[in-house]
Structure 1
């Protein structure tokens, strides 16, 4: 018997039958095969008589593999072999294998396999147990495990898997599978483990998905794009021990059925959009070991019975909106190893009973409103490795016993702590500590030299305190330290030459201190150094040539010092250098030529009177040798003899020649000036006649029908389909200074009118050499052109040539927010309600951008426009993507021209730039709107950072003094206080401690009060 007959399979070709044209055939997975007269019923998915059908499409021909009726076949075999009953188990096993092969082949038919990982899956084989990713049971040879994790598969999960009746484990994680979840996927009775995490599955989870989960023990749908609510039927999965739905887009509140999963040991719902309170009843999950609810929008208090989950090892509710103090029942979680409560609104003192949780290894209470001193009871947590108390309102000193714990990481940054740091050189915990962050407090005294004995330190941040004295040489000589930040203190003295021993150092920040002396040449031994920040000190002397040995160097800021001399020419060999700021020093001579220095921003070299060259538009003096004049009558015996009349005459001749040369040079210069003047007059005349080259190029490029109209030709596109000739008629405005609206990091903005009289704003990009190719430029601009939001300035079109790029925006008539805050009189200033409305509008626009994975990068008050109705419109969004040669450090100058808006991670190469950078800029903007003060204010002998001064005023209870005086006395404090706090949370130094813009919008909508209540309180 042939193989096809043995399997009971026939291949039938349908070329002209109704099957060929029906769309239903393309949806077939497994359906019953009826006789020919009943084929139409079979196509509707009915299952009869045990027949099976699978399909494959090849061009226009629909090939359907028909499994002949097994029921009839087995009846015939039983009749023939009835006397051989001992063969029956073998026949049953053959039928089962038939199901497994068919099931896997049909599953493969719905899958795209770009790496040919499933090449071994051959439909002509009898046994699938040797196929890649397939594991069979040792006895029955049935498929019990299908593990295809990380195979780069795409496509959809079809119904073929339903034929694997013995399947126990299904792992399709880490692929690109898409589509919605098939509701009947869990109906296999033997299924125990399902892992579909790390795919692109979308849509809602159907309620019936969980209704047939039967004996399921573990389910992971993490890292997909699933939306909607968690179905109530989740309570049907009574045997479920592990449930992971994290990193999706699930919303709504927690279903009550969750608390009936008594076998549950691990629950992870992190990074979704779940809301409401965490309901009571969690104590019923007495087997629970781990709860992950991080990154949602849960509000209210933690349930009081949470501490009754006595087996709990891991609790993470960070990055929510939880309030109040911590339930005392948590003290009963003596087995808990990881407690993460960061980025919430918890308040009150840090509970002393935390010391009873003596198995804690990780404790994170950061970014809350905890106050008071650090309780000494934490000293009892001898297993503690990571302790993060940053971003609170803790006071008092840093207890010396902290260094007795065997901590790996300790952070108390961003609090109100003070006093001296007492760290003994022989502190037991010193040899374990790798991360120490004491920044943003009021610590004083000298930098503890004992820190130099902590040889395991990799990260040390003492910035933004009041440390004084000199830098201990031992601290700079730590061989493993990678990040050392002592900035914004009162440290004086020289930079010790021992810095050369820090061979692992990647970032050194000593800016805004009172350091003196020179930059030590030994810094050239720090071969791993990438970031060097020494600005705002009193350093003198030259830049050491050894600096050019640091081939990994990317950021250098030496501004606001008294450094002098010529810059080493070898600096131009630093290929990775993308930021070099030497402004406000005493440097002289030529700049290095090549690489970064060919395009160095003028702001980075300003206020150095001795610098010369094209970059500073100052001609360098050429030193020529003085002419040698010999006296023919002089002798060696009378060197001081008086010049003869002949020699005097000869000198006069020489002087005359020099004078003639000078006169000739002056004549050439004068002729050049006259020529340029004539050319300018002609250009202006052309502009007046609307025949400027730019306007001509716009018209010619758009209407050109020549073969040259390709990638290199001029091109004008209006997204609305308006008459582009109207724009060409007004294009002369791009060279008309009278039409200029403003200048920014990307370019200059002009106003012009279309032919129909409608005004538009034109941004003329001044970074042409950094713009992408036309194909990439157009692709990204068109994406931006599709964005439409009431709080975004609409991009209406663009113009491209190789040397000129224009972006055409809608014109917003009300000016920008900077003007309203800092240039308006009291009578025309924004009211509190208008300011709040502007804040909410900006938040909504950023939330919209972030949902589309667009980072603004350039958020500041001058980029927020106000229309005639008082609506905020954010501009300059997404432009950083057009300039691939600008990374974060150049962006910090080109785009973030106002220093105070720039998130701290811009200065750290190892930290990823995310949407949280925009959140930081938004937080600064909120404080600017409320106070009417600029983000950074430069005093005569100090620099005041707005967020720092606001935090101090808030902690001192002087919130009413923060509000801009132009607002007047009529503003609701119940709105002002939480908005101020929200702004401070957004400006957290740690990106993960900042909320998302979706959370910000939600909080603002909760804060806002009805207008009627305002009027009642103010009358």
Structure 2
């Protein structure tokens, strides 16, 4: 037993006190008894474990004070006594743990002020003292811990001001002093903490000034929570520089002025709360459209605009002016129409009068009453009847009228800016979509020439419906679009061919992404929203179980789409026992790689670059559809692969499928 160096008995149902005897295991380095129902006090023999580096007794039901003998564990690097039930103060002997890096004494009934010995531990990186009964002023001594990264003093009874020398903590990543009685202003010196990502000063008594503009220096900040204080002044316009900020809460303060329109440029912002202030003016349109929950801006009496049901005064005046202008224009138009009608009637009367005079003159000139002049027809042009122009087949207008049932409303397929598109079913079984062009002014010859050219381009591409270089280009375009979405921390969650659109250059574009309702969870406000996981045949196996959109699931769906583009076999064509991924792997194992090719691609030269791209596509599709999400590459790596780089071992150019490295 003396040679035992690690003991982990956590997360069991052990009860009672810790038995004596652990102190005899002189070589013990790690002791984990967390997550049990242990009671009583810590035995004195534990303090003889001079080689102990990690002690985790969290989430138990001990009693009494933290033993002073902990200071004898000189080799201790990690000490976790969270939720242990200890009372009393923190012993000063803790200052003997000179190589301690992590100290967690949170969620207990520890009281009193912090011992000054704590600030002499040079290697401390994590200090978690939240949810206790600690008191006194916020200690300036933490500024001595130059390697400190995480400091959580929330939910205690600390008073005083936030020490300005906290700005010396260059390594600080997270600072939380929420739910205390801290007063004064937010020191501008905090702007020197260039690595700060989380700043939580919620529910204190911060006053004496505005939110310092130096906060805008936190280029890595993701969470800024200052709600429940007495901060005044305007919201700094420079906050828009926090390009990585995801959560911002300034609610329940005394902020005034308007909401800066530059906040709309914080594209990663997912949670915002500006309620219960004295803000005024119109909510920026882009910000109001993005955060359309009225509670985000509520309890600001002078604030107006979307999504509040409160119209701004300038908008009301603008509408009133528009209404007056509309009335003036309408009245002027009515007067002009009346004048035109009067002029028109007057002109007709004069014309009839002159016509009568001319008839009388003609009658005098030809007393025999002979007919004079010639009878004029309607012209010799075409009758203006409808015409039908087709790309290839000769189909008459009569056949088309019959196929669409005289362009009946029931046969309308879609409605757009260029009119209706009808479904036409001909007697030989041909099914076409027909778009009537109304009031067309283009020359018929030019139109027919353009239509025939378009028909040729639409039906052929270098002798093939879609050759592999074109399919490779489509796959690369989809991959680039997904990689861009993932770089913005967005998930598509429904990758399939129907959601890929193409421009005139056959460049792929993703559509229908970001439709799920996003919410962001904050420590005080968890989200319970759910999102769709995708479409049948393209859903990653883990998505059906978790019901959450993940980047790894997008990668899986992309792999299915690549295999479908390559083989032209739809995922829904397969049975439950054999999906498209298993089918491709089976052909590779049998060495029947030609079975993967669509008939239009069988003439690929095994020595050509198209063959290499084809094999590359097979392997990309298979590694993207790995069963374990951890084994799938990122979309950025996939773009790198498809742009011409190898995937793993070299892919041979020969036609021998057995030489292909196994993708399974």
TM-score, with length taken from structure 1: 0.33
Asked which structure has the greater CA Rg, the reply is 2
Higher normalized contact order (CA 8 Å, seq sep 6+, divided by chain length): 2
TM-score, with length taken from structure 2: 0.50
